[in-house]
Amino acid sequence: MSSKTPYKVLCVCLGNICRSPTAEVVLRHFCDKQQLNIMIDSAGTSNYHPGKAPDERSQKHALKRGYDLSALRARQLKPQDFIEFDLILAMDHENLSNIQALLDQAHVEYGASQIRSKIALMSEYDQTYLKQALPDPYYGGVEGFERVLDQCESSSLAWVSIFKNSFQNNSSNNRSM
Ligand code: 4NP
């Protein structure tokens, strides 16, 4: 990709300590592998865990696959994110409707011309988990954390394919995504 300005993607779940930090690091890994000029961040729709590191269980399971989540810190999704980010990825359908509600507020607050973000599910183009939720692992067992990693890897590969096609077919200033 020739653009110096990165395409910006924000991964969003409820707490920003389990699913979205995992999605952030896994998606970054696959984007970097393809040398895509994409900046990735994550946030939560809630403010349950501001400034906290990802859940120890998420960190442990991710590290077993080579993903280091330790430097991340939780933050809440804010209206300015819709100005800054090109794409906001919801981990489940409840996140999606909460993001949509905040986006509607941002439209009122900033005006449509300021809004940059499109919103979609993490699994939007994932043929294995098509439009399925990434189940919240917080109150469950170890298999939930492995499932999050499986889905993040699968959905990230699907997004990388979409990004590659989109960036190849469009000039840097006219991306279709
Ligand atoms: P996440 O998981 O949305 O994947 O970060 C959760 C983390 C914390 C809580 C719920 C879900 N909580 O209720 O504190």
- Which residues are known catalytic residues? 13, 19, 136
Q: What is the pLDDT of residues 27-65, one digit of tens each?
A: 999 999 999 999 999 999 999 999 999 999 999 999 999
Q: What is the pLDDT of residues 68-93, one digit of tens each?
A: 999 999 999 999 999 999 999 999 99
Residue 169 has what pLDDT? 79
Q: How far is CA 176 from the centre of its chain?
A: 18
Q: Where are the beta strands (DSSP E) in 14-165?
A: 38-44, 87-90, 118-121
H-helix or E-strand spanning residue 10: strand 7-13
C-alpha to C-alpha distance for 42 and 96, rounded to whole angstroms = 14
Query: Can you give the pTM of this predicted structure?
Result: 0.95
Nearest by Cα to 158 from 34, 15, 6, 42:
34
H-helix or E-strand spanning residue 13: strand 7-13
58 C-alpha to ligand 1 centroid (Å):
11
Nearest by Cα to 72 from 12, 20, 7, 142:
20
Output the ligand 1 site: residues, CB below 6 A: 13-19, 48, 136, 138
DSSP 3-state assignment of 92?
Answer: coil
Nearest by Cα to 90 from 47, 133, 129, 29:
133
The residue to mutate among 11, 12, 17, having the most atoms of ligand 1 within 8 angstroms of its beta carbon, is: 17
Q: How far is CA 75 from the centre of its chain?
A: 13
Partners of 121 in beta bridges: 90
Q: What is the pLDDT of residues 120-138, one digit of tens each?
A: 999 999 999 999 999 999 9
Q: Where are the beta strands (DSSP E) in 31-117?
A: 38-44, 87-90
The residue to mutate among 11, 16, 18, 139, having the most atoms of ligand 1 within 8 angstroms of its beta carbon, is: 18
